[in-house]
Chains A and B, each alone.
Chain A
Amino acid sequence: MLNIKNLNAYYGKSHILQGVNLIVNEGEIVSLLGRNGVGRSTVIKSIMGMVKTDGSILFDGKQIIDLPIHQISNRGIAYVSENRDIFPDLTVYENLELGKKNNNSNIKWDIEELFDLFPNLKNRINVLGGVLSGGEQQMLTICRSLMGCPKLIMIDEPTEGLSPQMVNNVEKLLIKIAQKGVSILLVEQKLTIAFKLSKRLYVMGHGKVVYEGTPKNIKENQSIIKEWLEVS
């Protein structure tokens, strides 16, 4: 459903992504791994139309690379950034309201279903987003993007800085999302989680994809882990 060919991205004069190729199929969880600064977030931002890019990004067979952000979103792509961009001055309810959009997606989410997963959010529905804990904010951003019923959801380091309990919650939510048939492009620092959740993984180094395979492939290939993933 998502097919990226020879993607280049630039911040001003720096050429950050240098010919990235990547595919996400329907209903698949795909992880994007790599050390900090290799360009994983930039891949996601490029798909979302937030960075200057060239190359080809096909979504459901249609080119989306030069579309404005909101049109890309309305094709059925959701983005959960690594900064947990909740709107701090709006309540939990208002944050969720903003996630809603009119589209004809056949995967529907309603608020009650999400509240069943996170009773905490339901209890804090009228609280300002800015006063939630980090974990609650992470839940809110994910739930907010689900309100728009996306076909593909791109999540950048969702477990970063969370308590083990919260990490567990995020994991369960991702599995639930995938079960409903939503594709996930996941940037995840914790290899155990990435290996557990995803069928296929891409490893990035210096603005390029340096390895592609299944969790099993990578686990058997220690040199890849040593060269591109382990923090020395």
Chain B
Amino acid sequence: MSLEVLVFIIFNGLLYGMFLFMLSSGLTLIFGMMGILNFAHASFFMIGAYLGYQISENINFWIALIFAPMLVGIMGAMIEKYGLRNIHKYGHIAELLFTFGLFYIIEEMVQLIWGKTPVPYKVPEILNFPLIEISGMSYPAYSMFRLVISLLIFLAIYRVLAKTKTGLIIKASLTNPNMVAALGHNVPRVFSNVFGFGCALAGLAGVLAGNVIGTEPSMALLLGPIVFVVVVTGGLGSIKGALVASIIIGLIQTLTISMEYDLNSLINYLGFQIDINSTINHFTSLTLSQLSPIVPYILLIIVLIARPRGLFGKRDV
């Protein structure tokens, strides 16, 4: 593998990783503070993509980039305040069912408004050109734009958590929300805000990715599982874990997808031969790139065997 290819893979892996972080950071904070595993989290990602499309159509992409995540965030905060908070007293199962229902309601709503087929959400013209071209490969300007935005968002989250009183309240609430409230902080309001902010981040990820991966009603279902893998691998409630797991999964998946090695080549290398007509050849001839989609799940299993609470988690899964 040439150096250029490796650089491209790293950039793409980082981009995918930061994208996963934008989705999983909100989810993991919400879980850590409220104990709710929000099944509908990826649905907010989908709403973000659709609103990004709609606002881009009617006004322009830049307005969409700012207002679509805000709208999604407000929607999330409202759902927390008027929905989840009232259900809280019936326990975690009720909350889980609520977010489950929310997932389906959002999917149906999206189909009612925008139809069942993908909408033509396009990369903004001004960013639609190859930024770097080396030995026949090109890195799109829009990808670089997404990477920069997600890095900025990461820095912002880091600063808020590390340097502000709000950050202190959030971190303390991860271990003991009742005690934080007993010190006079309005924890329910912090919950709503974190929930809303987490949804806004998912919405932003949707605005930024919807025009690349395609904006369609099943996008939440497609993305949901991988976000859970990130959050559980990193450790439920750990923002650091979410970051590390996102980057690892982003890099590994991008790396494997570009590899055409299979087990046969390893076996050949070791001096053995597999009969092409044997049953086992069906497995040994699978290439790494074909296996790429399940790599995150394999990682999840390995991590959970070695560390049942995830990489940085303090709570049981």
Contact = CB atoms under 8 A, between A and B. Distances in A.
Given A87-B175, A89-B175, A101 B168 contact: no
Q: Is the interface of B mostly helix, strand, loop or mixed?
A: helix
Contact of B183 (A50, A88, A148): A148
A140 to B, nearest CB: 12
B210 to A, nearest CB: 36
B181 interface: yes
Contacts of A94: 168
A97 B185 CA distance: 12
B183 A99 contact: yes
Given A68-B188, A94-B168, A145 B183 contact: yes
B157 interface: no
Contacts, number: 58
Interface string B173-196: 011101111111111100000000
Interface string B1-34: 0000000000000000000000000000000000
A69 B181 contact: yes
Interface stretch (A2-10, A73-81, A180-188, A219-227): A73-81
A144 interface: yes
B41 interface: no
A70 B184 contact: yes
A85 interface: yes
Contact of B168 (A70, A73, A98, A103): A98
Interface string A37-52: 0000000000010100
Contact of A70 (B171, B172, B176, B186): B186
Given A87-B172, A89-B171, A90-B168, A98 B178 contact: no
Interface string B205-247: 0000000000000000000000000000000000000000000
Name the residue among A69, A89, A99 with the largest chain B CB count within 10 angstroms.
A69
Contacts of A98: 165, 168-169, 172, 180, 183, 185
B181 A88 contact: no
Contacts of B171: 87, 89-90
B178 A90 contact: no
B179 A70 contact: no
A69 B174 CA distance: 17
B187 A70 contact: yes
Contacts of B185: 70, 98, 101
Contact of B184 (A87, A89, A101): A101
Name the residue among B175, B179, B187, B188 with the largest chain A CB count within 10 angstroms.
B179
Interface in A7-56: 48, 50
Contacts of A148: 183-184
A87 B179 CA distance: 9
A27 to B, nearest CB: 22
Contacts of B179: 81, 85, 87
A155 B175 CA distance: 21
B63 to A, nearest CB: 37
Name the residue among B168, B182, B188 with the largest chain A CB count within 10 angstroms.
B182
A49 to B, nearest CB: 8
A145 B180 CA distance: 11
Interface string A111-152: 000000000000000000000000000000000110010000
A50 B178 contact: yes
A97 B166 CA distance: 11
A99 B184 CA distance: 8
A103 B187 CA distance: 18
Interface in B130-173: 165, 168-169, 171-172
A53 B180 CA distance: 21
A68 B187 CA distance: 10
9 contacts: A68-B181, A68-B188, A74-B184, A85-B179, A94-B168, A99-B183, A101-B184, A148-B183, A148-B184
Q: Which 6 A-B pairs give the minimum distances between C-beta atoms?
A: A69-B181, A73-B184, A101-B184, A85-B179, A87-B172, A70-B181
Interface of B: 165, 168-169, 171-172, 174-176, 178-188
Given A73-B181, A148-B184, 9 more contacts: A68-B181, A69-B178, A69-B182, A70-B187, A81-B182, A87-B179, A89-B174, A97-B168, A145-B183
